[in-house]
Amino acid sequence: MLLDDAAQQALNRDWRQIDKPTNVLSFPQIEPFGPVVGILGDITLARETLEREAAEMGKSLTDHYTHLVVHGFLHILGYDHTDETDALVMEGLETQILATLGIDDPYN
C-alpha cells in the first residue's frame, strides 16, 4: 500500500510504538523463513517520506521506491537488520536483487 505520512505514522505508532512516519513497514503473514506460499503479508510505503528521501539522496523516486519494496519483502520473508551481522546479510541481498533490476547499490 502506498500511504501518506500521516497514515504511515499511525501504523508505526500502533504496531511499533514509534510515533513518527517511516519509509516502509512490513506485516508478515508467514513464519520467518517459512514456505513462500499463499498470502505472504503486506508492505506499506509512505509516499511523502519516499519522495523526500529520494530527493535528499539524489536518487530517482523509482529506484528508491523499488529498493524499499525489496527491503519490505525481505522483512516479510524473515530478514531483519536488528544487529550488524543481520544488517550486512539483508543489505547484501538487497544489493544483489537491485543489481538484477539495474539499480545501483543503495548503501554505496
Residue 104 has pLDDT above 90, yes or no: yes
Sketch the domain layout of the chain as residue ranges. 2-100
Residue 108 — pLDDT band, cuts 50, 70, 90? confident
Q: Encode pLDDT of 8-57 as tens digits.
A: 999 999 999 999 999 999 999 999 999 999 999 999 999 999 999 999 99
Q: Looking at residue 14, what DSSP letter applies?
A: H
CA-based max dimension of the chain: 38
Write the CA distances from 51 to 20, 61, 64, 74, 87, integer angstroms: 16, 6, 9, 22, 24
- Pairing mode, strands 41-46 and 24-28: antiparallel
Q: Encode pLDDT of 1-14 as tens digits.
A: 999 999 999 999 99
Taking each helix axis from N to C end, the angle separating 84-100 and 61-77, rounded to the nearest 10 degrees, works out to 130
May I ask the CATH class of domain 2-100? alpha beta
